[in-house]
Structure 1
Protein backbone atom coordinates (compact mmCIF):
# COMPACT_ATOMS: atom_id res chain seq x y z
CA UNK A 1 0.00 0.00 0.00
CA UNK A 2 1.45 3.36 -1.04
CA UNK A 3 2.23 5.80 1.72
CA UNK A 4 1.19 9.43 1.33
CA UNK A 5 4.38 11.45 1.75
CA UNK A 6 4.47 15.13 2.62
CA UNK A 7 7.59 17.28 2.73
CA UNK A 8 8.16 20.35 4.90
CA UNK A 9 10.83 22.85 3.83
CA UNK A 10 11.38 25.64 6.32
CA UNK A 11 12.73 28.92 4.99
CA UNK A 12 14.22 31.90 6.77
CA UNK A 13 15.91 34.62 4.70
CA UNK A 14 17.11 32.06 2.15
CA UNK A 15 14.50 31.86 -0.59
CA UNK A 16 16.98 30.96 -3.34
CA UNK A 17 18.24 27.84 -1.54
CA UNK A 18 14.65 26.90 -0.67
CA UNK A 19 13.50 27.42 -4.25
CA UNK A 20 16.25 25.17 -5.65
CA UNK A 21 15.37 22.29 -3.32
CA UNK A 22 11.64 22.62 -3.96
CA UNK A 23 12.05 22.68 -7.74
CA UNK A 24 14.32 19.62 -7.56
CA UNK A 25 12.00 17.42 -5.51
CA UNK A 26 8.61 18.57 -6.79
CA UNK A 27 9.02 16.19 -9.76
CA UNK A 28 9.49 13.16 -7.47
CA UNK A 29 6.44 10.94 -8.00
CA UNK A 30 6.77 9.48 -4.50
CA UNK A 31 6.08 12.89 -2.92
CA UNK A 32 2.39 13.75 -2.67
CA UNK A 33 2.62 17.28 -1.32
CA UNK A 34 5.17 19.89 -0.27
CA UNK A 35 4.66 22.63 2.29
CA UNK A 36 7.15 25.47 1.97
CA UNK A 37 6.98 27.43 5.22
CA UNK A 38 8.44 30.89 5.44
CA UNK A 39 9.29 31.61 9.07
CA UNK A 40 8.45 35.32 8.90
CA UNK A 41 11.56 36.26 6.93
CA UNK A 42 12.11 40.03 6.86
CA UNK A 43 13.87 39.90 3.48
CA UNK A 44 10.79 39.42 1.28
CA UNK A 45 11.25 35.63 0.97
CA UNK A 46 7.54 34.91 1.25
CA UNK A 47 6.65 36.96 -1.81
CA UNK A 48 9.47 35.37 -3.80
CA UNK A 49 8.51 31.83 -2.79
CA UNK A 50 4.83 32.23 -3.65
CA UNK A 51 5.74 31.66 -7.29
CA UNK A 52 6.33 28.00 -6.36
CA UNK A 53 2.66 27.45 -5.50
CA UNK A 54 0.76 24.90 -7.57
CA UNK A 55 -1.37 21.78 -7.06
CA UNK A 56 1.56 20.02 -5.36
CA UNK A 57 3.22 22.87 -3.47
CA UNK A 58 1.64 25.10 -0.82
CA UNK A 59 3.62 28.15 0.26
CA UNK A 60 2.76 29.18 3.80
CA UNK A 61 3.92 31.83 6.22
CA UNK A 62 4.01 31.12 9.94
CA UNK A 63 2.30 33.61 12.24
CA UNK A 64 5.63 34.31 13.96
CA UNK A 65 9.30 33.36 13.74
CA UNK A 66 9.29 30.80 16.52
CA UNK A 67 12.37 28.94 15.30
CA UNK A 68 13.05 25.55 13.72
CA UNK A 69 10.59 23.48 15.77
CA UNK A 70 7.74 26.00 15.56
CA UNK A 71 8.08 26.45 11.81
CA UNK A 72 8.29 22.74 11.05
CA UNK A 73 5.32 22.04 13.31
CA UNK A 74 3.40 24.73 11.40
CA UNK A 75 4.03 22.93 8.12
CA UNK A 76 3.67 19.38 9.48
CA UNK A 77 0.28 19.91 11.10
CA UNK A 78 -0.91 21.79 8.03
CA UNK A 79 -0.05 18.82 5.79
CA UNK A 80 -1.62 16.32 8.17
CA UNK A 81 -4.81 18.35 8.56
CA UNK A 82 -5.27 19.15 4.86
CA UNK A 83 -3.81 16.13 3.03
CA UNK A 84 -3.86 13.24 5.53
CA UNK A 85 -0.20 12.29 5.27
CA UNK A 86 1.25 8.95 6.40
CA UNK A 87 4.90 10.00 6.28
CA UNK A 88 6.39 13.43 6.91
CA UNK A 89 9.80 14.36 5.54
CA UNK A 90 11.40 17.31 7.30
CA UNK A 91 14.06 18.82 5.07
CA UNK A 92 16.38 21.76 5.57
CA UNK A 93 16.63 23.95 2.45
CA UNK A 94 20.35 23.20 2.19
CA UNK A 95 20.09 19.44 1.60
CA UNK A 96 20.29 17.39 -1.57
CA UNK A 97 18.67 13.96 -1.89
CA UNK A 98 17.43 11.71 -4.68
CA UNK A 99 14.03 10.11 -5.05
CA UNK A 100 15.69 6.71 -4.72
CA UNK A 101 17.02 7.81 -1.34
CA UNK A 102 13.55 8.84 -0.16
CA UNK A 103 11.91 5.62 -1.33
CA UNK A 104 14.53 3.53 0.45
CA UNK A 105 14.10 5.47 3.71
CA UNK A 106 10.34 4.79 3.65
CA UNK A 107 10.98 1.12 2.89
CA UNK A 108 13.41 0.94 5.79
CA UNK A 109 10.78 2.30 8.15
CA UNK A 110 8.45 -0.55 7.25
CA UNK A 111 11.06 -3.32 7.02
CA UNK A 112 12.84 -2.51 10.28
CA UNK A 113 9.69 -1.38 12.11
CA UNK A 114 10.98 2.05 13.01
CA UNK A 115 8.93 5.22 13.24
CA UNK A 116 11.60 7.62 11.99
CA UNK A 117 14.55 7.13 9.66
CA UNK A 118 17.13 8.76 7.45
CA UNK A 119 20.34 7.97 5.60
CA UNK A 120 23.98 8.79 6.17
CA UNK A 121 24.57 12.54 6.21
CA UNK A 122 27.50 13.74 4.13
CA UNK A 123 28.77 17.24 4.82
CA UNK A 124 31.39 19.61 3.40
CA UNK A 125 34.97 19.44 4.71
CA UNK A 126 34.52 22.50 6.94
CA UNK A 127 31.79 20.78 9.01
CA UNK A 128 32.75 20.18 12.64
CA UNK A 129 31.14 16.76 13.02
CA UNK A 130 31.31 14.72 9.79
CA UNK A 131 30.03 11.62 11.63
CA UNK A 132 27.37 11.16 14.31
CA UNK A 133 27.18 9.03 17.42
CA UNK A 134 24.34 6.55 17.87
CA UNK A 135 23.33 7.62 21.36
CA UNK A 136 22.34 10.92 22.92
CA UNK A 137 25.33 12.32 24.80
CA UNK A 138 25.39 12.27 28.58
CA UNK A 139 25.18 15.56 30.45
CA UNK A 140 28.78 15.08 31.61
CA UNK A 141 29.97 14.82 28.01
CA UNK A 142 28.02 17.88 26.93
CA UNK A 143 29.34 19.84 29.93
CA UNK A 144 32.89 19.11 28.72
CA UNK A 145 31.92 20.17 25.21
CA UNK A 146 31.18 23.68 26.49
CA UNK A 147 34.84 24.22 27.34
CA UNK A 148 37.72 24.82 24.96
CA UNK A 149 40.43 22.84 26.77
CA UNK A 150 38.76 19.98 28.63
CA UNK A 151 37.02 18.64 25.55
CA UNK A 152 40.46 18.35 23.93
CA UNK A 153 41.98 16.65 26.96
CA UNK A 154 39.08 14.22 27.19
CA UNK A 155 38.06 13.50 23.58
CA UNK A 156 34.71 11.90 22.87
CA UNK A 157 34.78 8.13 22.48
CA UNK A 158 31.44 6.75 21.52
CA UNK A 159 29.72 4.42 19.08
CA UNK A 160 29.62 6.23 15.76
CA UNK A 161 27.37 5.81 12.75
CA UNK A 162 29.68 5.00 9.86
CA UNK A 163 29.10 4.90 6.12
CA UNK A 164 28.46 1.47 4.63
CA UNK A 165 27.50 -0.28 7.87
CA UNK A 166 23.91 -1.08 6.92
CA UNK A 167 20.87 -0.02 8.94
CA UNK A 168 21.79 1.20 12.41
CA UNK A 169 19.35 1.81 15.25
CA UNK A 170 19.99 5.20 16.86
CA UNK A 171 18.63 7.39 19.65
CA UNK A 172 18.44 10.56 17.55
CA UNK A 173 18.46 11.71 13.93
CA UNK A 174 20.04 14.86 12.46
CA UNK A 175 17.31 17.43 11.91
CA UNK A 176 18.54 18.35 8.44
CA UNK A 177 16.61 15.51 6.77
CA UNK A 178 14.51 12.73 8.27
CA UNK A 179 11.25 10.89 7.68
CA UNK A 180 8.80 10.27 10.48
CA UNK A 181 5.48 8.49 10.80
CA UNK A 182 2.87 11.25 10.70
CA UNK A 183 0.63 9.57 13.28
CA UNK A 184 3.57 9.28 15.68
CA UNK A 185 4.49 12.91 15.04
CA UNK A 186 0.97 13.97 15.98
CA UNK A 187 0.81 11.69 19.03
CA UNK A 188 4.04 13.22 20.38
CA UNK A 189 2.79 16.76 19.82
CA UNK A 190 5.41 17.36 17.15
CA UNK A 191 8.70 19.04 17.93
CA UNK A 192 9.14 21.02 21.15
CA UNK A 193 8.72 24.63 20.03
CA UNK A 194 10.02 25.96 23.35
CA UNK A 195 13.44 25.53 21.71
CA UNK A 196 14.17 28.13 19.04
CA UNK A 197 17.14 26.37 17.45
CA UNK A 198 19.43 23.39 18.22
CA UNK A 199 18.82 20.19 20.23
CA UNK A 200 15.48 19.58 18.53
CA UNK A 201 16.82 16.20 17.39
CA UNK A 202 17.81 15.08 20.88
CA UNK A 203 14.46 16.21 22.29
CA UNK A 204 12.62 14.18 19.66
CA UNK A 205 14.91 11.26 20.43
CA UNK A 206 14.02 11.43 24.11
CA UNK A 207 10.32 11.53 23.24
CA UNK A 208 10.80 8.42 21.12
CA UNK A 209 12.63 6.57 23.88
CA UNK A 210 9.95 7.41 26.43
CA UNK A 211 7.13 6.32 24.11
CA UNK A 212 8.89 3.12 23.02
CA UNK A 213 9.39 4.15 19.40
CA UNK A 214 12.55 3.56 17.38
CA UNK A 215 14.75 5.42 14.91
CA UNK A 216 17.27 4.17 12.35
CA UNK A 217 19.92 5.40 9.93
CA UNK A 218 20.54 3.50 6.70
CA UNK A 219 24.26 4.02 6.16
CA UNK A 220 24.16 2.39 2.71
CA UNK A 221 22.37 5.46 1.33
CA UNK A 222 23.32 9.10 1.82
CA UNK A 223 22.30 12.70 1.30
CA UNK A 224 24.33 15.89 1.25
CA UNK A 225 23.89 18.65 3.80
CA UNK A 226 25.61 21.95 3.09
CA UNK A 227 25.89 22.34 6.85
CA UNK A 228 24.53 25.55 8.39
CA UNK A 229 24.62 27.57 5.18
CA UNK A 230 21.22 29.04 6.03
CA UNK A 231 22.11 29.63 9.69
CA UNK A 232 25.28 31.49 8.78
CA UNK A 233 23.26 33.89 6.66
CA UNK A 234 21.17 34.97 9.63
CA UNK A 235 23.27 34.42 12.77
CA UNK A 236 26.71 35.60 13.78
CA UNK A 237 29.13 33.01 15.13
CA UNK A 238 28.96 33.96 18.81
CA UNK A 239 25.18 34.34 18.74
CA UNK A 240 24.87 30.88 17.21
CA UNK A 241 27.02 29.34 19.96
CA UNK A 242 25.06 31.18 22.62
CA UNK A 243 21.81 29.85 21.18
CA UNK A 244 23.31 26.36 21.07
CA UNK A 245 24.33 26.48 24.74
CA UNK A 246 20.95 27.80 25.86
CA UNK A 247 19.21 24.97 24.02
CA UNK A 248 21.68 22.50 25.53
CA UNK A 249 20.78 23.68 29.04
CA UNK A 250 17.06 23.48 28.25
CA UNK A 251 17.39 19.95 26.92
CA UNK A 252 19.31 18.50 29.85
CA UNK A 253 17.23 20.25 32.51
CA UNK A 254 13.88 19.45 30.88
CA UNK A 255 14.57 16.02 29.40
CA UNK A 256 17.85 14.78 30.88
CA UNK A 257 16.70 14.08 34.43
CA UNK A 258 19.94 15.48 35.84
CA UNK A 259 20.76 16.36 39.45
CA UNK A 260 21.11 19.85 40.92
CA UNK A 261 24.88 19.38 40.97
CA UNK A 262 24.90 18.50 37.28
CA UNK A 263 22.76 21.55 36.53
CA UNK A 264 25.17 23.79 38.41
CA UNK A 265 28.22 22.34 36.66
CA UNK A 266 26.54 22.74 33.28
CA UNK A 267 25.68 26.37 34.00
CA UNK A 268 29.24 27.11 35.06
CA UNK A 269 30.64 25.40 31.96
CA UNK A 270 28.26 27.34 29.71
CA UNK A 271 29.17 30.68 31.32
CA UNK A 272 32.88 29.89 31.04
CA UNK A 273 32.54 28.63 27.47
CA UNK A 274 30.67 31.70 26.30
CA UNK A 275 33.12 34.07 28.02
CA UNK A 276 36.14 32.41 26.41
CA UNK A 277 34.55 32.23 22.97
CA UNK A 278 33.56 35.89 23.03
CA UNK A 279 37.21 36.89 23.47
CA UNK A 280 38.47 34.24 21.05
CA UNK A 281 36.12 35.28 18.25
CA UNK A 282 37.17 38.90 18.67
CA UNK A 283 40.77 37.89 18.09
CA UNK A 284 40.06 35.77 15.03
Structure 2
Protein backbone atom coordinates (compact mmCIF):
# COMPACT_ATOMS: atom_id res chain seq x y z
CA UNK A 1 0.00 0.00 0.00
CA UNK A 2 1.23 3.49 -0.85
CA UNK A 3 1.60 6.04 1.93
CA UNK A 4 1.68 9.84 1.94
CA UNK A 5 2.65 12.27 4.67
CA UNK A 6 0.34 15.28 4.96
CA UNK A 7 1.53 18.37 6.87
CA UNK A 8 -0.61 21.49 7.23
CA UNK A 9 1.13 24.78 7.99
CA UNK A 10 -0.21 28.11 9.18
CA UNK A 11 2.31 30.79 10.14
CA UNK A 12 4.60 28.09 11.53
CA UNK A 13 7.33 27.53 8.96
CA UNK A 14 9.99 27.05 11.64
CA UNK A 15 8.31 23.95 13.07
CA UNK A 16 7.14 22.70 9.68
CA UNK A 17 10.61 22.91 8.15
CA UNK A 18 12.13 21.28 11.22
CA UNK A 19 9.71 18.37 10.86
CA UNK A 20 10.24 18.04 7.11
CA UNK A 21 14.00 18.13 7.57
CA UNK A 22 13.70 15.08 9.81
CA UNK A 23 11.06 12.97 8.06
CA UNK A 24 10.61 13.97 4.41
CA UNK A 25 13.27 11.52 3.27
CA UNK A 26 11.84 8.53 5.15
CA UNK A 27 11.62 5.68 2.63
CA UNK A 28 8.26 4.63 4.07
CA UNK A 29 6.64 7.72 2.50
CA UNK A 30 5.87 7.49 -1.20
CA UNK A 31 4.83 11.15 -1.28
CA UNK A 32 5.03 14.12 1.08
CA UNK A 33 2.30 16.75 0.80
CA UNK A 34 2.89 20.16 2.39
CA UNK A 35 -0.01 22.60 2.53
CA UNK A 36 0.19 26.24 3.47
CA UNK A 37 -3.16 27.35 4.88
CA UNK A 38 -3.02 30.95 3.64
CA UNK A 39 -0.30 32.06 6.05
CA UNK A 40 0.22 35.81 6.42
CA UNK A 41 3.94 35.57 7.19
CA UNK A 42 6.83 34.28 5.05
CA UNK A 43 5.81 30.62 5.42
CA UNK A 44 4.68 30.18 1.83
CA UNK A 45 7.97 31.34 0.32
CA UNK A 46 10.10 29.27 2.70
CA UNK A 47 8.07 26.10 2.31
CA UNK A 48 7.82 26.37 -1.46
CA UNK A 49 11.59 26.76 -1.67
CA UNK A 50 12.09 23.59 0.40
CA UNK A 51 9.61 21.57 -1.65
CA UNK A 52 11.13 22.54 -4.98
CA UNK A 53 14.36 20.80 -3.96
CA UNK A 54 12.75 17.38 -3.44
CA UNK A 55 10.79 15.59 -6.17
CA UNK A 56 8.89 13.52 -3.60
CA UNK A 57 7.52 16.62 -1.87
CA UNK A 58 4.43 18.42 -3.17
CA UNK A 59 3.58 21.99 -2.16
CA UNK A 60 -0.06 23.07 -2.07
CA UNK A 61 -1.11 26.67 -1.57
CA UNK A 62 -4.50 27.01 0.13
CA UNK A 63 -5.58 30.52 -0.82
CA UNK A 64 -8.11 30.69 2.01
CA UNK A 65 -7.78 29.48 5.59
CA UNK A 66 -10.98 27.59 6.33
CA UNK A 67 -9.52 25.84 9.34
CA UNK A 68 -7.57 22.75 10.33
CA UNK A 69 -10.10 20.24 9.00
CA UNK A 70 -10.60 21.92 5.64
CA UNK A 71 -6.86 22.19 5.10
CA UNK A 72 -6.24 18.52 5.82
CA UNK A 73 -9.19 17.55 3.64
CA UNK A 74 -7.37 19.18 0.72
CA UNK A 75 -4.23 17.25 1.62
CA UNK A 76 -6.03 13.91 1.60
CA UNK A 77 -7.67 14.69 -1.73
CA UNK A 78 -4.23 15.42 -3.18
CA UNK A 79 -3.02 12.11 -1.73
CA UNK A 80 -5.90 10.36 -3.48
CA UNK A 81 -5.04 12.03 -6.80
CA UNK A 82 -1.46 10.83 -6.38
CA UNK A 83 -2.62 7.23 -5.97
CA UNK A 84 -2.06 6.90 -2.21
CA UNK A 85 -3.86 4.28 -0.12
CA UNK A 86 -2.90 5.61 3.32
CA UNK A 87 -2.03 9.04 4.68
CA UNK A 88 -0.24 10.08 7.85
CA UNK A 89 -1.58 13.43 9.05
CA UNK A 90 1.11 15.13 11.15
CA UNK A 91 1.08 18.45 12.95
CA UNK A 92 4.21 20.59 12.47
CA UNK A 93 4.93 20.37 16.21
CA UNK A 94 5.44 16.59 16.19
CA UNK A 95 8.57 14.47 15.99
CA UNK A 96 8.53 10.77 15.12
CA UNK A 97 10.84 8.00 13.95
CA UNK A 98 10.43 6.06 10.72
CA UNK A 99 9.99 2.76 12.56
CA UNK A 100 6.84 4.18 14.21
CA UNK A 101 5.35 4.97 10.82
CA UNK A 102 6.23 1.51 9.52
CA UNK A 103 4.42 -0.13 12.44
CA UNK A 104 1.29 1.97 11.86
CA UNK A 105 1.32 1.12 8.16
CA UNK A 106 1.80 -2.59 8.89
CA UNK A 107 -1.08 -2.57 11.38
CA UNK A 108 -3.44 -1.04 8.83
CA UNK A 109 -2.33 -3.44 6.11
CA UNK A 110 -2.99 -6.44 8.37
CA UNK A 111 -6.22 -5.13 9.93
CA UNK A 112 -8.60 -4.03 7.22
CA UNK A 113 -11.18 -3.02 9.82
CA UNK A 114 -8.98 -0.20 11.16
CA UNK A 115 -9.74 3.19 9.64
CA UNK A 116 -7.57 5.32 11.94
CA UNK A 117 -4.36 4.28 13.69
CA UNK A 118 -1.95 6.20 15.92
CA UNK A 119 0.95 5.68 18.33
CA UNK A 120 1.02 7.10 21.86
CA UNK A 121 2.42 10.49 22.78
CA UNK A 122 5.74 10.24 24.62
CA UNK A 123 5.31 11.18 28.27
CA UNK A 124 7.11 10.89 31.59
CA UNK A 125 3.85 9.93 33.27
CA UNK A 126 2.18 6.52 33.39
CA UNK A 127 -0.44 6.17 30.65
CA UNK A 128 -3.90 6.37 32.16
CA UNK A 129 -2.65 8.14 35.27
CA UNK A 130 -4.27 11.41 36.32
CA UNK A 131 -1.06 13.30 35.58
CA UNK A 132 -0.87 11.87 32.07
CA UNK A 133 -4.52 12.60 31.27
CA UNK A 134 -4.43 16.21 32.45
CA UNK A 135 -1.37 16.95 30.32
CA UNK A 136 -3.13 15.56 27.25
CA UNK A 137 -4.22 11.99 26.65
CA UNK A 138 -3.17 10.08 23.53
CA UNK A 139 -6.60 8.46 23.24
CA UNK A 140 -9.94 8.28 25.00
CA UNK A 141 -13.32 6.49 24.92
CA UNK A 142 -16.11 7.64 22.63
CA UNK A 143 -18.17 9.85 24.96
CA UNK A 144 -21.83 10.70 25.14
CA UNK A 145 -22.99 14.29 25.63
CA UNK A 146 -22.64 14.55 29.40
CA UNK A 147 -19.26 12.81 29.54
CA UNK A 148 -17.99 15.00 26.71
CA UNK A 149 -19.23 18.12 28.46
CA UNK A 150 -17.47 17.09 31.65
CA UNK A 151 -14.20 16.60 29.75
CA UNK A 152 -14.55 20.14 28.37
CA UNK A 153 -14.76 21.61 31.85
CA UNK A 154 -11.28 22.13 33.37
CA UNK A 155 -12.48 21.53 36.91
CA UNK A 156 -14.91 18.73 36.00
CA UNK A 157 -12.29 16.73 34.14
CA UNK A 158 -10.02 16.94 37.16
CA UNK A 159 -12.78 15.61 39.39
CA UNK A 160 -14.09 12.88 37.07
CA UNK A 161 -10.83 11.80 35.41
CA UNK A 162 -11.41 8.08 36.03
CA UNK A 163 -14.84 8.17 34.42
CA UNK A 164 -13.59 10.01 31.33
CA UNK A 165 -10.40 8.13 30.42
CA UNK A 166 -8.88 4.66 30.13
CA UNK A 167 -7.06 3.37 33.20
CA UNK A 168 -3.45 2.19 33.36
CA UNK A 169 -4.26 -1.47 32.69
CA UNK A 170 -5.84 -0.57 29.36
CA UNK A 171 -2.40 0.06 27.85
CA UNK A 172 -1.03 -3.42 28.56
CA UNK A 173 -2.12 -4.80 25.17
CA UNK A 174 0.00 -4.07 22.06
CA UNK A 175 -2.92 -2.73 20.03
CA UNK A 176 -6.17 -1.36 21.37
CA UNK A 177 -9.44 -0.23 19.87
CA UNK A 178 -10.30 3.22 21.24
CA UNK A 179 -12.98 5.86 20.89
CA UNK A 180 -10.68 8.53 19.42
CA UNK A 181 -7.00 9.45 19.19
CA UNK A 182 -5.16 12.74 19.44
CA UNK A 183 -5.20 14.46 16.06
CA UNK A 184 -1.55 15.57 16.17
CA UNK A 185 -0.39 12.37 14.46
CA UNK A 186 -2.69 9.75 12.96
CA UNK A 187 -2.87 7.48 9.92
CA UNK A 188 -6.06 7.15 7.87
CA UNK A 189 -7.35 5.10 4.96
CA UNK A 190 -7.57 7.57 2.09
CA UNK A 191 -10.60 6.06 0.37
CA UNK A 192 -12.59 5.81 3.60
CA UNK A 193 -11.64 9.36 4.60
CA UNK A 194 -12.83 10.75 1.27
CA UNK A 195 -15.98 8.60 1.30
CA UNK A 196 -16.86 10.19 4.66
CA UNK A 197 -15.93 13.67 3.36
CA UNK A 198 -13.19 13.79 5.96
CA UNK A 199 -13.29 16.44 8.63
CA UNK A 200 -16.41 18.59 8.88
CA UNK A 201 -15.23 21.93 7.55
CA UNK A 202 -17.69 23.84 9.71
CA UNK A 203 -15.54 22.90 12.70
CA UNK A 204 -12.69 25.39 12.40
CA UNK A 205 -10.50 23.94 15.13
CA UNK A 206 -10.78 21.41 18.00
CA UNK A 207 -12.95 18.30 18.29
CA UNK A 208 -11.98 16.89 14.89
CA UNK A 209 -10.72 13.64 16.39
CA UNK A 210 -14.03 12.64 17.95
CA UNK A 211 -15.95 13.49 14.82
CA UNK A 212 -13.64 11.58 12.46
CA UNK A 213 -13.69 8.47 14.66
CA UNK A 214 -17.46 8.66 14.94
CA UNK A 215 -17.73 8.83 11.15
CA UNK A 216 -15.38 5.85 10.72
CA UNK A 217 -17.38 3.87 13.26
CA UNK A 218 -20.49 4.58 11.19
CA UNK A 219 -19.06 2.60 8.27
CA UNK A 220 -17.69 -0.20 10.44
CA UNK A 221 -14.08 0.97 10.76
CA UNK A 222 -12.23 1.13 14.07
CA UNK A 223 -9.86 3.64 15.62
CA UNK A 224 -6.80 2.02 17.22
CA UNK A 225 -3.60 2.84 19.09
CA UNK A 226 -0.31 0.97 18.97
CA UNK A 227 0.81 1.14 22.59
CA UNK A 228 4.47 0.15 22.18
CA UNK A 229 5.41 3.04 19.90
CA UNK A 230 5.52 6.73 20.69
CA UNK A 231 6.05 10.17 19.19
CA UNK A 232 6.88 13.58 20.62
CA UNK A 233 4.36 16.40 20.60
CA UNK A 234 4.97 19.96 21.72
CA UNK A 235 1.35 20.32 22.81
CA UNK A 236 -0.45 22.98 20.76
CA UNK A 237 2.75 24.82 19.85
CA UNK A 238 1.43 25.60 16.37
CA UNK A 239 -1.99 26.66 17.65
CA UNK A 240 -0.51 28.94 20.29
CA UNK A 241 1.50 30.78 17.64
CA UNK A 242 -1.66 31.88 15.83
CA UNK A 243 -4.01 32.02 18.85
CA UNK A 244 -1.94 33.34 21.74
CA UNK A 245 -4.90 34.06 24.03
CA UNK A 246 -6.16 31.15 26.11
CA UNK A 247 -9.57 32.79 26.16
CA UNK A 248 -9.74 33.05 22.35
CA UNK A 249 -8.78 29.38 22.02
CA UNK A 250 -11.52 28.49 24.48
CA UNK A 251 -14.14 30.38 22.44
CA UNK A 252 -13.22 28.48 19.27
CA UNK A 253 -13.25 25.22 21.23
CA UNK A 254 -16.78 25.98 22.44
CA UNK A 255 -18.03 26.78 18.94
CA UNK A 256 -16.68 23.53 17.53
CA UNK A 257 -17.97 21.49 20.47
CA UNK A 258 -21.46 22.98 20.29
CA UNK A 259 -21.57 22.28 16.56
CA UNK A 260 -20.60 18.66 17.22
CA UNK A 261 -23.28 18.32 19.93
CA UNK A 262 -26.04 19.75 17.75
CA UNK A 263 -25.21 18.06 14.46
CA UNK A 264 -23.72 14.72 15.48
CA UNK A 265 -24.89 13.96 19.00
CA UNK A 266 -28.28 15.51 18.16
CA UNK A 267 -28.85 17.04 21.59
CA UNK A 268 -32.21 18.70 22.20
CA UNK A 269 -32.72 22.49 22.76
CA UNK A 270 -32.80 22.08 26.55
CA UNK A 271 -29.41 20.35 26.56
CA UNK A 272 -28.11 23.07 24.25
CA UNK A 273 -29.05 25.73 26.80
CA UNK A 274 -27.44 23.66 29.55
CA UNK A 275 -24.23 23.36 27.52
CA UNK A 276 -24.10 27.11 26.88
CA UNK A 277 -24.50 27.85 30.60
CA UNK A 278 -21.82 25.27 31.38
CA UNK A 279 -19.40 26.89 28.94
CA UNK A 280 -20.07 30.29 30.49
CA UNK A 281 -18.73 28.88 33.76
CA UNK A 282 -15.79 27.33 31.90
CA UNK A 283 -14.82 30.76 30.59
CA UNK A 284 -14.81 32.05 34.15
CA UNK A 285 -12.56 29.16 35.15
CA UNK A 286 -10.20 30.06 32.30
CA UNK A 287 -10.13 33.74 33.29
CA UNK A 288 -9.76 33.18 37.04
CA UNK A 289 -7.57 30.10 37.22
CA UNK A 290 -5.97 29.96 33.76
CA UNK A 291 -6.98 26.29 33.50
CA UNK A 292 -6.84 24.26 30.30
The TM-score with structure 2 as length reference comes to: 0.88
Equivalent position of 2:223 in the other structure: 215
Equivalent position of 2:146 in the other structure: 140
Equivalent position of 2:22 in the other structure: 24
Q: Quote the offset at 1:63 in angstroms.
A: 2.0
Equivalent position of 2:86 in the other structure: 87
Q: Quote the offset at 1:276 in angstroms.
A: 4.1
Equivalent position of 1:7 in the other structure: 5
- 3-state SS, counterpart of residue 29 of structure 1: coil
Q: Please, which moves more after superposition, 115-124 or 203-212?
A: 115-124
Conserved 8 A contact 2:205-2:256:
yes
CA RMSD of aligned residues (A): 2.2
- Decide whether aligned partners of structure 1 residues 149 and 59 sit closer, same or farther in structure 2, where only a CA change above 3 A counts: closer
Q: Quote the offset at 1:123 in angstroms.
A: 4.9
Cα deviation, 1:199-227, whole Å, max 9, x if unaligned, reads 01111011012111111101011111111
Cα deviation, 1:62-94, whole Å, max 9, x if unaligned, reads 02011110111111112211x110111100011
Equivalent position of 1:49 in the other structure: 47
- Decide whether aligned partners of structure 1 residues 160 and 152 sit closer, same or farther in structure 2, where only a CA change above 3 A counts: closer
Q: State the distance in 2 between where 1:72 and 1:152 align.
A: 32
- Decide whether aligned partners of structure 1 residues 107 and 148 sit closer, same or farther in structure 2, where only a CA change above 3 A counts: closer
- 3-state SS, counterpart of residue 115 of structure 1: strand
Conserved 8 A contact 1:11-1:39:
yes
Residues 1:260 and 2:273 aligned together:
no
- 3-state SS, counterpart of residue 254 of structure 2: helix
Q: State the distance in 1 between where 2:289 and 2:242 align.
A: 21
Q: Which runs of 5+ in 1 are unaligned?
A: none
Conserved 8 A contact 1:68-1:197:
yes
Conserved 8 A contact 2:85-2:190:
yes
Equivalent position of 2:128 in the other structure: none
Conserved 8 A contact 2:6-2:33:
yes
Would you say how many aligned residue pairs link Structure 1 and Structure 2? 279
Q: State the distance in 1 between where 2:159 and 2:11 align.
A: 39
- Decide whether aligned partners of structure 1 residues 55 and 138 sit closer, same or farther in structure 2, where only a CA change above 3 A counts: same
Structure 1 counterpart of 2:210, from 193, 202, 205? 202
- Decide whether aligned partners of structure 1 residues 163 and 120 sit closer, same or farther in structure 2, where only a CA change above 3 A counts: farther
- Decide whether aligned partners of structure 1 residues 242 and 26 sit closer, same or farther in structure 2, where only a CA change above 3 A counts: same
Cα deviation, 1:140-164, whole Å, max 9, x if unaligned, reads 1233344454444444424247555
Equivalent position of 2:279 in the other structure: 270
Cα deviation, 1:152-184, whole Å, max 9, x if unaligned, reads 444442424755531000121211111111111
Equivalent position of 2:258 in the other structure: 249
- 3-state SS, counterpart of residue 29 of structure 2: coil
Equivalent position of 1:171 in the other structure: 179
Q: State the distance in 2 between where 1:149 and 1:119 align.
A: 28
- 3-state SS, counterpart of residue 119 of structure 2: strand
Q: Quote the offset at 1:133 in angstroms.
A: 4.7
Q: State the distance in 2 between where 1:159 and 1:92 align.
A: 24
The TM-score with structure 1 as length reference comes to: 0.90
Equivalent position of 1:159 in the other structure: 166
